[in-house]
Protein backbone atom coordinates (compact mmCIF):
# COMPACT_ATOMS: atom_id res chain seq x y z
CA UNK A 1 0.00 0.00 0.00
CA UNK A 2 1.20 3.51 -0.77
CA UNK A 3 2.20 6.15 1.74
CA UNK A 4 1.86 9.85 0.97
CA UNK A 5 4.04 12.49 2.63
CA UNK A 6 3.76 16.25 2.55
CA UNK A 7 6.50 18.38 4.06
CA UNK A 8 9.58 20.44 3.39
CA UNK A 9 12.12 19.87 0.62
CA UNK A 10 15.27 21.77 1.46
CA UNK A 11 18.90 22.54 0.99
CA UNK A 12 20.47 22.30 4.44
CA UNK A 13 23.74 23.69 5.70
CA UNK A 14 24.78 21.85 8.83
CA UNK A 15 27.66 22.15 11.32
CA UNK A 16 28.34 19.36 13.79
CA UNK A 17 31.41 18.80 16.01
CA UNK A 18 32.49 16.28 13.36
CA UNK A 19 32.30 18.37 10.21
CA UNK A 20 30.24 20.63 7.99
CA UNK A 21 28.03 20.16 4.96
CA UNK A 22 26.72 22.91 2.69
CA UNK A 23 23.52 22.85 0.60
CA UNK A 24 22.88 19.21 1.35
CA UNK A 25 19.60 17.75 0.09
CA UNK A 26 17.25 17.64 3.08
CA UNK A 27 13.86 18.65 4.41
CA UNK A 28 11.38 16.59 6.35
CA UNK A 29 9.62 15.12 3.31
CA UNK A 30 12.91 14.05 1.72
CA UNK A 31 14.15 12.18 4.79
CA UNK A 32 10.73 10.62 5.22
CA UNK A 33 10.56 9.54 1.57
CA UNK A 34 13.98 7.89 1.52
CA UNK A 35 13.04 6.00 4.69
CA UNK A 36 9.48 4.96 3.76
CA UNK A 37 10.45 3.90 0.23
CA UNK A 38 12.56 1.10 1.73
CA UNK A 39 9.23 -0.57 2.50
CA UNK A 40 6.48 0.65 0.18
CA UNK A 41 5.63 2.94 -2.75
CA UNK A 42 5.98 6.53 -1.56
CA UNK A 43 4.27 9.63 -2.92
CA UNK A 44 5.96 12.96 -2.27
CA UNK A 45 4.20 16.33 -2.05
CA UNK A 46 6.27 19.49 -1.66
CA UNK A 47 7.63 22.53 -3.45
CA UNK A 48 11.03 23.44 -4.91
CA UNK A 49 12.51 26.27 -6.96
CA UNK A 50 14.27 26.13 -10.30
CA UNK A 51 17.57 25.68 -8.42
CA UNK A 52 16.45 22.11 -7.60
CA UNK A 53 18.15 19.95 -10.18
CA UNK A 54 16.42 17.38 -12.35
CA UNK A 55 19.02 14.87 -11.17
CA UNK A 56 17.68 15.14 -7.60
CA UNK A 57 14.19 14.29 -8.86
CA UNK A 58 15.55 11.44 -10.99
CA UNK A 59 17.38 9.99 -8.02
CA UNK A 60 14.20 10.08 -5.94
CA UNK A 61 12.31 8.35 -8.77
CA UNK A 62 14.97 5.65 -9.06
CA UNK A 63 14.31 4.85 -5.41
CA UNK A 64 10.61 4.30 -6.22
CA UNK A 65 9.51 7.70 -4.88
CA UNK A 66 6.70 9.23 -6.92
CA UNK A 67 7.58 12.91 -7.43
CA UNK A 68 4.53 13.99 -9.43
CA UNK A 69 3.39 15.90 -6.33
CA UNK A 70 6.54 18.05 -6.27
CA UNK A 71 5.65 21.51 -7.52
CA UNK A 72 8.48 23.36 -9.29
CA UNK A 73 8.18 27.16 -9.06
CA UNK A 74 10.01 28.59 -12.09
CA UNK A 75 12.40 31.37 -11.08
CA UNK A 76 11.91 30.59 -7.40
CA UNK A 77 14.45 29.34 -4.87
CA UNK A 78 14.14 26.18 -2.79
CA UNK A 79 13.69 26.40 1.00
CA UNK A 80 17.04 26.68 2.83
CA UNK A 81 17.75 25.83 6.45
CA UNK A 82 20.96 25.98 8.39
CA UNK A 83 21.73 24.67 11.86
CA UNK A 84 24.54 23.91 14.28
CA UNK A 85 24.94 21.11 16.84
CA UNK A 86 27.19 21.12 19.89
CA UNK A 87 28.54 18.00 21.57
CA UNK A 88 25.07 17.37 22.96
CA UNK A 89 23.59 16.31 19.65
CA UNK A 90 20.07 16.55 21.07
CA UNK A 91 20.59 20.30 21.30
CA UNK A 92 20.43 22.15 17.98
CA UNK A 93 20.59 25.85 17.15
CA UNK A 94 18.86 27.07 14.01
CA UNK A 95 21.15 29.60 12.33
CA UNK A 96 18.88 30.61 9.46
CA UNK A 97 15.63 29.71 7.75
CA UNK A 98 14.96 31.02 4.25
CA UNK A 99 11.45 29.98 3.32
CA UNK A 100 11.67 31.09 -0.34
CA UNK A 101 9.09 29.13 -2.43
CA UNK A 102 7.89 27.45 0.77
CA UNK A 103 6.33 30.70 2.04
CA UNK A 104 3.47 30.65 -0.54
CA UNK A 105 3.09 26.89 -0.63
CA UNK A 106 -0.36 25.32 -0.73
CA UNK A 107 -0.14 21.55 -1.25
CA UNK A 108 -1.94 20.37 -4.37
CA UNK A 109 -2.41 16.62 -4.51
CA UNK A 110 -2.29 15.01 -7.95
CA UNK A 111 -5.57 13.14 -8.53
CA UNK A 112 -3.71 9.85 -8.43
CA UNK A 113 -2.54 10.54 -4.87
CA UNK A 114 -5.98 11.09 -3.34
CA UNK A 115 -6.61 7.43 -2.67
CA UNK A 116 -3.38 6.95 -0.63
CA UNK A 117 -4.13 4.74 2.37
CA UNK A 118 -1.30 5.99 4.60
CA UNK A 119 -0.58 9.68 5.06
CA UNK A 120 2.21 11.46 6.91
CA UNK A 121 1.81 15.18 7.49
CA UNK A 122 5.38 16.23 8.21
CA UNK A 123 6.22 19.44 10.01
CA UNK A 124 4.47 22.24 8.11
CA UNK A 125 1.85 24.85 9.04
CA UNK A 126 -1.11 22.91 10.54
CA UNK A 127 -3.49 24.84 8.28
CA UNK A 128 -1.66 23.32 5.29
CA UNK A 129 -1.77 19.90 6.95
CA UNK A 130 -5.57 20.33 7.19
CA UNK A 131 -5.67 21.35 3.51
CA UNK A 132 -4.02 18.04 2.61
CA UNK A 133 -6.55 16.01 4.59
CA UNK A 134 -9.40 17.88 2.88
CA UNK A 135 -8.07 16.59 -0.48
CA UNK A 136 -7.81 12.94 0.58
CA UNK A 137 -10.51 10.39 -0.18
CA UNK A 138 -10.50 8.12 2.84
CA UNK A 139 -7.06 7.42 4.25
CA UNK A 140 -6.72 4.36 6.42
CA UNK A 141 -4.13 5.85 8.75
CA UNK A 142 -2.96 9.45 9.21
CA UNK A 143 0.04 10.55 11.28
CA UNK A 144 1.51 14.00 11.84
CA UNK A 145 4.50 15.87 13.20
CA UNK A 146 4.79 19.54 14.22
CA UNK A 147 7.29 22.02 15.71
CA UNK A 148 7.50 24.65 18.45
CA UNK A 149 6.70 27.49 16.00
CA UNK A 150 3.24 26.07 15.21
CA UNK A 151 2.51 25.25 18.84
CA UNK A 152 3.18 28.92 19.62
CA UNK A 153 1.52 30.56 16.61
CA UNK A 154 -1.13 28.13 15.24
CA UNK A 155 -2.31 26.28 18.30
CA UNK A 156 -6.02 26.24 17.39
CA UNK A 157 -5.40 24.82 13.92
CA UNK A 158 -3.02 22.25 15.40
CA UNK A 159 -5.60 21.11 17.96
CA UNK A 160 -8.20 20.88 15.17
CA UNK A 161 -5.77 18.74 13.18
CA UNK A 162 -5.11 16.42 16.13
CA UNK A 163 -8.84 15.60 16.17
CA UNK A 164 -8.40 14.20 12.64
CA UNK A 165 -5.20 12.16 12.92
CA UNK A 166 -4.65 8.64 14.26
CA UNK A 167 -1.03 8.97 15.35
CA UNK A 168 1.19 11.86 16.46
CA UNK A 169 4.95 11.57 16.13
CA UNK A 170 6.32 14.38 18.31
CA UNK A 171 9.61 14.94 20.05
CA UNK A 172 9.71 15.21 23.82
CA UNK A 173 9.82 19.03 23.91
CA UNK A 174 6.87 19.35 21.52
CA UNK A 175 4.72 16.93 23.53
CA UNK A 176 5.46 18.87 26.72
CA UNK A 177 4.99 22.31 25.14
CA UNK A 178 1.67 21.44 23.51
CA UNK A 179 0.11 19.76 26.55
CA UNK A 180 1.76 21.73 29.35
CA UNK A 181 2.53 18.38 31.03
CA UNK A 182 6.07 17.43 32.07
CA UNK A 183 5.21 13.75 32.56
CA UNK A 184 5.07 11.91 29.24
CA UNK A 185 2.32 9.69 30.65
CA UNK A 186 0.15 12.74 31.29
CA UNK A 187 1.17 14.40 28.02
CA UNK A 188 0.17 11.26 26.11
CA UNK A 189 -3.16 11.08 27.95
CA UNK A 190 -3.86 14.68 27.03
CA UNK A 191 -3.01 13.96 23.36
CA UNK A 192 -5.30 10.90 23.43
CA UNK A 193 -8.06 13.19 24.69
CA UNK A 194 -7.44 15.54 21.74
CA UNK A 195 -8.28 12.61 19.46
CA UNK A 196 -5.03 10.78 18.58
CA UNK A 197 -5.16 7.08 19.25
CA UNK A 198 -1.43 6.50 19.30
CA UNK A 199 1.21 8.89 20.63
CA UNK A 200 4.86 8.43 19.69
CA UNK A 201 7.35 10.55 21.65
CA UNK A 202 10.87 10.72 20.19
CA UNK A 203 13.70 11.37 22.63
CA UNK A 204 16.68 11.53 20.27
CA UNK A 205 19.59 9.39 21.40
CA UNK A 206 17.46 8.25 24.38
CA UNK A 207 15.04 6.34 22.18
CA UNK A 208 11.34 6.54 21.77
CA UNK A 209 8.08 5.94 23.68
CA UNK A 210 4.76 4.70 22.34
CA UNK A 211 1.49 5.29 24.19
CA UNK A 212 -1.80 3.70 23.14
CA UNK A 213 -5.01 3.10 25.10
CA UNK A 214 -3.71 -0.50 25.58
CA UNK A 215 -0.42 0.48 27.21
CA UNK A 216 3.12 1.79 26.86
CA UNK A 217 6.14 0.62 24.92
CA UNK A 218 9.72 1.90 25.00
CA UNK A 219 12.47 1.35 22.42
CA UNK A 220 16.05 2.47 22.90
CA UNK A 221 17.98 4.23 20.17
CA UNK A 222 20.31 1.83 18.38
CA UNK A 223 23.69 2.15 20.14
CA UNK A 224 26.00 3.56 17.45
CA UNK A 225 29.74 4.01 17.90
CA UNK A 226 29.72 7.22 15.88
CA UNK A 227 26.94 9.70 15.22
CA UNK A 228 27.79 12.18 12.52
CA UNK A 229 24.74 14.38 11.85
CA UNK A 230 21.40 13.96 13.64
CA UNK A 231 19.49 16.10 11.13
CA UNK A 232 16.50 14.24 9.78
CA UNK A 233 16.58 11.46 12.36
CA UNK A 234 13.00 12.26 13.41
CA UNK A 235 11.69 12.30 9.85
CA UNK A 236 13.57 9.11 8.95
CA UNK A 237 12.09 7.49 12.05
CA UNK A 238 8.62 8.55 10.87
CA UNK A 239 9.35 7.19 7.37
CA UNK A 240 10.49 3.82 8.68
CA UNK A 241 7.54 3.70 11.08
CA UNK A 242 4.86 4.55 8.49
CA UNK A 243 6.57 2.58 5.70
CA UNK A 244 6.56 -0.52 7.85
CA UNK A 245 2.85 -0.09 8.75
CA UNK A 246 1.98 0.44 5.06
CA UNK A 247 4.00 -2.60 4.00
CA UNK A 248 2.06 -4.71 6.50
CA UNK A 249 -1.27 -3.06 5.64
CA UNK A 250 -1.58 -2.52 9.40
CA UNK A 251 -3.91 -0.30 11.36
CA UNK A 252 -3.38 1.02 14.87
CA UNK A 253 -3.09 -2.33 16.62
CA UNK A 254 -0.50 -2.42 19.36
CA UNK A 255 1.61 -5.27 18.04
CA UNK A 256 2.12 -3.60 14.64
CA UNK A 257 2.78 -0.19 16.22
CA UNK A 258 5.46 -1.64 18.50
CA UNK A 259 7.24 -3.29 15.61
CA UNK A 260 6.89 -0.10 13.56
CA UNK A 261 8.61 1.87 16.34
CA UNK A 262 11.57 -0.53 16.20
CA UNK A 263 11.74 -0.35 12.39
CA UNK A 264 11.61 3.47 12.59
CA UNK A 265 14.41 3.50 15.16
CA UNK A 266 16.53 1.17 13.02
CA UNK A 267 16.10 3.35 9.91
CA UNK A 268 16.91 6.56 11.85
CA UNK A 269 20.10 4.97 13.15
CA UNK A 270 21.44 4.82 9.58
CA UNK A 271 20.54 8.43 8.76
CA UNK A 272 22.71 9.87 11.55
CA UNK A 273 25.81 7.98 10.39
CA UNK A 274 26.41 10.51 7.59
CA UNK A 275 25.43 14.04 6.56
CA UNK A 276 22.04 14.49 4.95
CA UNK A 277 20.55 11.54 3.11
CA UNK A 278 23.94 10.13 2.05
CA UNK A 279 23.69 7.02 4.22
CA UNK A 280 19.97 6.31 4.06
CA UNK A 281 20.18 6.52 0.27
CA UNK A 282 22.52 3.55 0.04
CA UNK A 283 20.92 1.09 2.48
CA UNK A 284 18.50 -1.73 1.75
CA UNK A 285 15.61 -3.21 3.67
CA UNK A 286 17.91 -6.15 4.56
CA UNK A 287 20.30 -3.74 6.34
CA UNK A 288 17.34 -2.43 8.36
CA UNK A 289 16.15 -5.95 9.12
CA UNK A 290 19.57 -6.86 10.56
CA UNK A 291 19.44 -3.92 12.95
CA UNK A 292 15.88 -4.80 13.92
CA UNK A 293 17.13 -8.27 14.90
CA UNK A 294 19.85 -6.67 17.03
CA UNK A 295 17.15 -4.61 18.77
CA UNK A 296 15.53 -7.88 19.84
CA UNK A 297 18.74 -8.85 21.65
CA UNK A 298 19.29 -5.38 23.11
CA UNK A 299 15.79 -5.27 24.58
CA UNK A 300 15.27 -8.82 25.86
CA UNK A 301 15.99 -9.76 29.47
Enumerate residues 66-85 that contact ligand AMP by CB under 6 A.
81
Q: Which of 15, 71, 97, 131 binds ligand AMP (CB under 6 A)?
A: 97
The Cα 142–Cα 192 span in angstroms is: 14
Binding mask 253-292 for ligand AMP (x = CB under 6 A): ----------------------------------------
Looking at residue 269, the DSSP 8-state letter turns out to be H
What is the smallest separation between the CB atom of 193 and ligand AMP, expressed in angstroms? 26
What is the smallest separation between the CB atom of 12 and ligand AMP, expressed in angstroms? 5
Q: Which of 33, 123, 129, 212 binds ligand AMP (CB under 6 A)?
A: 123
Rg (CA), the chain: 18
What is the smallest separation between the CB atom of 295 and ligand AMP, expressed in angstroms? 20
Closest CB to ligand AMP among residues 117, 235:
235
What is the smallest separation between the CB atom of 223 and ligand AMP, expressed in angstroms? 20
Q: Tell me how far CA of residue 87 lies from CA of 18, 84, 203, 278, in angstroms.
A: 9, 10, 16, 22
Question: Considering the rule CB under 6 A, would residue 46 count as an interface residue with ligand AMP?
Answer: no
Q: Which of 60, 227, 233, 292 binds ligand AMP (CB under 6 A)?
A: 233
Backbone angles phi, psi at 78, to 5 degrees: -70, 150
Residues 6+ apart with CB under 8 A from 133: 119, 121, 139, 142, 161, 164
The Cα 26–Cα 10 span in angstroms is: 5
User: What DSSP element (H or E) covers 38?
Assistant: none
The binding site for ligand AMP (CB under 6 A) comprises 8, 10, 12, 26-28, 81, 97, 123-124, 231-235
Amino acid sequence: MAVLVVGSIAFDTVETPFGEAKDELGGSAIYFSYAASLFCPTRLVGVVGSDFSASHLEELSRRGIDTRGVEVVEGGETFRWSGRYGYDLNDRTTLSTELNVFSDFHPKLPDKYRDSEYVFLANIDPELQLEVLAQMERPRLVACDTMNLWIETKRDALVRLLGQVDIVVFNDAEARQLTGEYSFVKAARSLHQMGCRAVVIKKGEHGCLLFTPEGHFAAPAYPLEDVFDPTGAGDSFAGGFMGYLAMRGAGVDDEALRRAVVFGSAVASFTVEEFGVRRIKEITVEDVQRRVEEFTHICSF
